[in-house]
């Protein structure tokens, strides 16, 4: 792996606590779960077990759009070992739908299925194979209905309505019931600006549907309780959001649905929505026994939402000296059968569709459709990923038409701090777009023809096609491409985004110990590491315990939108500050009369001691806390945001922006259409790196996912049947270590004064620009336009 570099400008953000306790912020402390995970000893949700446990199984629709004329469960019920078979008519509460924003998703199909793989019935049995066989014995008579599969069929005058009689907070402003949400953004005068353009380029781009492809399938264990409630242990991204959706359809008050996070094997947005949670609870409450549900890989492809496929139509103009005059675009996202996070994805796609560039005159429209395709929702970088693919292709087209270097053209038009976004929002923190591009371009290129060994014999492992031994270098051409992207951080558009932390400070076995308790879902991002670092920094203790995440503490929000370090980290920081203040006040009362510095000096907790700003030790923290425990629970909110105007799109919709740039170096076998990505160099501003090891890991992971989007990942949906054709890792390909290139990382730390420690959310941004950088490099190698992801061999060879 190439060496990573780090640049921190002089000066420290004023809200960074100066503390030298070992293992604090800024250090690359190791993950507490790291060794267990790499040795296979970590307990994931699928590993849970309970005495007298039953197994749950979901029966899913085999067609994409149909009326359910009859369900016969008699054979399934009669099978030995079967304890329960449930259909829609068995649901216990008046509320039978759920959803992240719009409650349009039925717990079980109600007389109609709207997509391939929709849950229709549930089985609980004493063995997983018995449950599977029983589900297969349920007979369902379907009467198939006309399909809605694309924009034309969704918006036709006689189009079937996916949700008849819609009545939600978006239905009143959309021009057609099959549009989930529409967001225009109008700023300036595109018609007038167009007259100033010396060149105009247009493009139509197609972005394929991706799966989050987390390695740990959906799973959980529901245990009925003596009080009539249920305890649910589950892998999820947002415990409290799940709770708000689960309790009403169980007919239980929220306090009787107790949720605890179990080991999560990756998420990337795919666990924001409900999957097996309600089903397991229903079966547990019906049978009076613990019920475990674990999806296999095939079912996982149907059990969660995917990334929205998109059609994007762009027009840009520029003057002959390279200044962009205007931008006009339409973005059409396919949301599938149910809303999920589609409204928020529309908001991101529209508000970030210009990219990190200064364009005063824009005409933007983004919509999400209902269709009979698989439901789509959150996936890493949602909305912004699709837009970045298109606008970066447009930047290369403009640069080529003007005869300019593509990096210099981008730098000429790059936004910076103080730029006004198309929504009217002023970017009030560092926006080093031009500098990020400069850094990736200045990095030395990897040597050419690396596949040639000393004896001039080809090492096929380094060639396109790799160990398949398809070429020895004939027809292999190198290409280099660049891209840069902008992503929002945190929940936007007026959402009440907050997080909660409880911190307890006490003495155990003579040593001060802090316990941090949040509901944050640790999905691999490293929050459990960072929370301990924050507590060590703010409380000056070395021993920090992270309490398991559950709903016995206030909400931490979702582990998504690059928000957890900002939001829950901010909550931990604020709560620790309150605990520290109480500890110092306790010390003043106990020992203040013995030393005037207690009253006159700035006091800190460091290394388990109370010290002055000059480093003088006043007392041991253990002595201060003797016989006492300090316990605080506080919420943290970022500054408020606004909903975008539904006519003009104006509004301060986002709390923070984050930026990343990539340079891709690829080698393409132009005869066989095979691509080898040699290097994906990246530069990113992270504001403040709380743990550099985790920062680099997040950037490299996001970069690799963007590579998958570029050249291999797509869920194929048959346009005639709306059925998924490749629901397996045999046919849905994701990058492995053999596909992952060298990823050198250049980290900038330009503090955001509005954020805790000056940090900037970082996990999603590298997923944006890595995809268009790879596409740009392949275009440079082949001369082809390539306006679709992923690029396949037939796109390069014309076969």
Residues 127 and 161 in one domain: no
At 604-621, the pLDDT tens digits run: 999 999 999 999 999 999
Predicted confidence (pLDDT) at residue 13 exceeds the cutoff of 50 = no
Q: Band of the pLDDT at 454, cuts 50, 70, 90?
A: low
Coil, strand or helix at 494? coil
pLDDT at site 482: 98
Measured over the CA atoms of residue 735, residue 697, residue 208 and residue 149, the dihedral's sign is positive
Mean pLDDT of 210-231: 97
At 400-437, the pLDDT tens digits run: 999 999 999 999 999 999 999 999 999 999 999 999 99
pLDDT at site 11: 37
pLDDT at site 18: 56
Distance in angstroms (rounded) separating the CA atoms of residues 702 and 705? 5
- Give the rounded distance of the alpha carbon of 396 from its chain centre: 27
Q: How many domains does the chain have?
A: 4
Predicted TM-score (pTM) of the model is: 0.96
Q: What would you report as the CA-atom Rg of the chain, rounded to the nearest whole angstrom?
A: 27
3-state helix, strand, coil in the chain (%, to 5): 30, 25, 45
In a domain? residue 347: yes
Residues 668 and 754 in one domain: yes
Residues 691 and 718 in one domain: yes
Q: Band of the pLDDT at 593, cuts 50, 70, 90?
A: confident
Residues 223 and 206 in one domain: no
Measured over the CA atoms of residue 12, residue 15, residue 19 and residue 22, the dihedral's sign is negative
Residues 562 and 508 in one domain: yes
- Give the rounded distance of the alpha carbon of 646 from its chain centre: 26
Distance in angstroms (rounded) separating the CA atoms of residues 689 and 90? 51
At 60-98, the pLDDT tens digits run: 999 999 999 999 999 999 999 999 999 999 999 999 999
196 vs 469, higher pLDDT: 196
In a domain? residue 532: yes
> What does the DSSP assignment read for 574-638?
HHHHHHHHHHHHHHHHHHGGG-THHHHSPEEEETTEEEETT--EEEEHHHHHTT-EEEEEEEEE-
Distance in angstroms (rounded) separating the CA atoms of residues 166 and 102? 10
Expressed in angstroms, the distance from the first to the final Cα of the chain is 36
Q: Which of 606, 637, 668 is the last residue of a domain?
A: 637
Residues 202 and 343 in one domain: yes
CA neighbours within 13 Å on the CB side: how many for 494? 6
Mean pLDDT of 294-303: 97
In a domain? residue 31: no
pLDDT at site 5: 65
Distance in angstroms (rounded) separating the CA atoms of residues 187 and 327? 10
Strands 5-7 and 112-113: unpaired
Q: Which of 637, 670, 701 is the last residue of a domain?
A: 637
Mean pLDDT of 331-342: 98
For residues 294 and 546, is the Cβ–Cβ distance under 8 A?
no
Q: Which domain holds residue 778?
A: 424-487+656-797
Q: What are phi and psi of 790, to 5 degrees?
A: -80, 160
pLDDT at site 209: 98
Distance in angstroms (rounded) separating the CA atoms of residues 255 and 236? 19
Q: Band of the pLDDT at 213, cuts 50, 70, 90?
A: very high
DSSP 8-state assignment for residue 46? G
Mean pLDDT of 112-139: 98
pLDDT at site 463: 86
Pick from 216, 225, 218, 219: which is nearest to 290 by CA?
225
CATH number of the domain bearing residue 240: 3.90.1170.50
Pick from 359, 408, 352, 410: which is nearest to 381 by CA?
352
In a domain? residue 7: no
Residues 77 and 133 in one domain: yes
Residues 58 and 130 in one domain: yes
pLDDT at site 1: 40
pLDDT at site 467: 81
Pick from 305, 349, 301, 304: which is nearest to 329 by CA?
349
In a domain? residue 343: yes
pLDDT at site 640: 95
For residues 661 and 440, is the Cβ–Cβ distance under 8 A?
yes
Residues 669 and 594 in one domain: no
pLDDT at site 457: 76
Distance in angstroms (rounded) separating the CA atoms of residues 508 and 248? 41
In a domain? residue 17: no
Q: Band of the pLDDT at 594, cuts 50, 70, 90?
A: confident
At 746-789, the pLDDT tens digits run: 999 999 999 999 999 999 999 999 999 999 999 999 999 999 99
At 168-199, the pLDDT tens digits run: 999 999 999 999 999 999 999 999 999 999 99
Residues 755 and 678 in one domain: yes
At 507-531, the pLDDT tens digits run: 999 999 999 999 999 999 999 999 9
CA separation, residue 699 to residues 189, 448, 703 (Å):
38, 25, 6
pLDDT at site 455: 58
DSSP 8-state assignment for residue 733? -
Residues 204 and 351 in one domain: yes
CATH number of the domain bearing residue 319: 3.30.365.10
Pick from 207, 299, 247, 298: which is nearest to 103 by CA?
247
DSSP bridge partners of 55: 125, 292
At 531-544, the pLDDT tens digits run: 999 999 999 999 99
Q: Work out the percent of the chain whose per-residue pLDDT is above 90.
A: 92
At 689-709, the pLDDT tens digits run: 999 999 999 999 999 999 999
Predicted confidence (pLDDT) at residue 7 exceeds the cutoff of 70 = no
Sheet of strand 543-546, all strands in order from the earlier edge strand to the far edge: 543-546, 511-517, 498-508, 629-637
Predicted confidence (pLDDT) at residue 8 exceeds the cutoff of 70 = no
Burial of 591 (0-12, 13-18, 19+ CB in 10 A): middle
> What does the DSSP assignment read for 751-766?
--TTSGGG----SSHH
In a domain? residue 414: no
Strands 291-294 and 54-60: parallel
Predicted confidence (pLDDT) at residue 14 exceeds the cutoff of 60 = no
pLDDT at site 215: 95
Sheet of strand 617-620, all strands in order from the earlier edge strand to the far edge: 603-606, 609-612, 617-620
At 648-665, the pLDDT tens digits run: 999 999 999 999 999 999
Residues 474 and 529 in one domain: no
Q: Which of 361, 384, 407 is the last residue of a domain?
A: 384
In a domain? residue 785: yes
- Give the rounded distance of the alpha carbon of 263 from its chain centre: 18
Number of residues in the chain: 799
Coil, strand or helix at 732? coil
The mean predicted confidence, pLDDT, of the chain is: 95
| Contacts of 21 by beta carbon, 8 Å cutoff, 6+ apart | 536, 537, 540, 541, 542, 606, 607
CA angle at residue 491 from 490 to 495, to 5 degrees?
A: 145
């Amino acid at each position: 792996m190439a060496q990573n570099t780090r640049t921190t400008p002089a000066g420290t953000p004023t809200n960074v606590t100066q503390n030298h306790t070992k293992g604090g912020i800024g250090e690359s402390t190791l993950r507490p779960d790291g060794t267990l995970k790499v040795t296979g000893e970590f307990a994931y949700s699928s590993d849970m077990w309970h005495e007298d446990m039953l197994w749950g199984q979901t029966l899913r629709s085999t067609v994409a759009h149909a009326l359910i004329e009859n369900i016969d469960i008699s054979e399934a019920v009669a099978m030995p070992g079967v304890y329960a078979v449930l259909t829609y008519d068995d649901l216990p509460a008046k509320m039978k739908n759920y959803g992240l924003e719009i409650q349009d998703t039925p717990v079980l199909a109600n007389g109609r299925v709207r997509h391939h793989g929709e849950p229709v019935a549930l089985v609980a049995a004493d063995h997983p194979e018995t449950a599977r066989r029983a589900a297969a014995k349920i007979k369902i008579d379907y009467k198939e209905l006309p399909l809605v599969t694309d924009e034309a069929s969704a918006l036709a005058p006689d189009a079937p309505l996916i949700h008849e009689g819609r009545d939600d907070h978006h239905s009143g402003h959309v021009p057609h019931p099959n549009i989930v949400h529409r967001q225009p953004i109008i700023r300036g005068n595109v018609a007038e600006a167009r007259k100033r353009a010396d060149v105009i380029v247009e493009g139509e781009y197609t972005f394929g549907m991706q799966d989050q492809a987390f390695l740990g399938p959906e799973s959980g264990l529901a245990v009925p309780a003596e009080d009539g409630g249920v305890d649910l242990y589950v892998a999820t991204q947002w415990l409290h959001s799940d709770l708000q959706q689960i309790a009403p359809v169980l007919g239980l008050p929220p306090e009787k649905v107790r949720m605890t996070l179990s080991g999560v094997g990756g998420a990337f947005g795919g666990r924001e929505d409900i999957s097996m949670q309600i089903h397991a609870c229903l079966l547990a409450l019906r049978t009076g026994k613990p019920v475990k549900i674990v999806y296999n890989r095939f079912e996982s492809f149907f059990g969660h939402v995917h990334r929205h496929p998109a059609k994007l139509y762009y027009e840009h103009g520029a003057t002959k000296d390279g200044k962009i005059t205007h931008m006009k675009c339409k973005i059409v996202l396919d949301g599938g059968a149910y809303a999920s996070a589609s409204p928020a994805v529309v908001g991101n796609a529209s508000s970030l569709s210009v990219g990190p560039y200064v364009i005063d005159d824009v005409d933007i429209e983004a919509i999400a459709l209902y269709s009979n395709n698989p439901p789509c929702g959150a996936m890493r970088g949602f909305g912004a990923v699709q837009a970045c693919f298109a606008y970066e292709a447009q930047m290369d087209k403009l640069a080529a038409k003007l005869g300019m270097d593509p990096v210099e053209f981008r730098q000429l038009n790059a936004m910076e701090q103080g730029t006004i976004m198309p929504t009217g929002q002023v970017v009030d923190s560092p926006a080093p777009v031009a500098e990020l591009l400069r850094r990736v371009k200045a990095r030395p290129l990897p040597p050419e023809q690396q596949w040639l060994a000393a004896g001039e014999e080809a090492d096929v492992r380094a060639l396109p096609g790799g160990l398949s031994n398809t070429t020895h270098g004939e027809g292999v051409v190198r290409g280099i491409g660049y891209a840069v992207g902008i992503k929002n951080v945190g929940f936007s558009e007026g959402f009440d985004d907050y997080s909660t932390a409880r911190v307890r400070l006490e003495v155990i076995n003579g040593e001060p110990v802090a316990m941090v308790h949040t509901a944050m879902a640790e999905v691999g991002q490293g929050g459990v590491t960072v929370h301990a670092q924050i507590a060590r920094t703010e409380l000056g203790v070395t021993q920090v315990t992270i309490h398991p995440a559950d709903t016995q503490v206030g909400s931490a929000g979702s582990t998504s939108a690059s928000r957890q370090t900002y939001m829950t980290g901010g909550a931990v920081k604020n709560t620790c500050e309150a605990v520290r203040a109480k500890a110092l006040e306790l010390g003043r009362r106990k020992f203040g009369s013995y030393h005037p510095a207690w009253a006159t000096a700035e006091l800190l907790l460091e290394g388990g001691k109370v010290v002055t700003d000059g480093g003088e030790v006043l007392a041991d923290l253990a002595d201060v806390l003797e016989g006492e425990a300090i316990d605080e629970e506080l919420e943290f909110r970022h500054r408020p945001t606004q909903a975008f105007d539904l006519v003009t799109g104006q509004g301060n919709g986002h709390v923070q922006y984050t930026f990343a740039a990539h340079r891709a170096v690829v080698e393409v076998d132009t005869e066989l259409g095979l691509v080898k990505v040699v290097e994906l160099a990246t530069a990113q501003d992270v504001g403040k790196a709380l743990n550099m090891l985790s920062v680099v890991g997040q950037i490299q992971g996001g970069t690799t996912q963007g590579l998958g989007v570029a050249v291999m990942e797509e869920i194929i949906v048959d346009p005639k049947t709306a059925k998924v054709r490749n629901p397996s890792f045999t046919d849905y390909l994701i990058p492995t270590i053999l596909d992952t290139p060298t990823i050198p990382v250049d980290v900038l730390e330009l503090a955001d004064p509005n954020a805790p420690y000056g940090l900037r959310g970082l996990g999603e941004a590298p997923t944006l620009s890595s995809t268009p950088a790879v596409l740009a490099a392949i275009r440079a190698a082949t001369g082809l336009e390539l306006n679709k992801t992923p690029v396949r061999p037939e796109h390069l060879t014309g076969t």
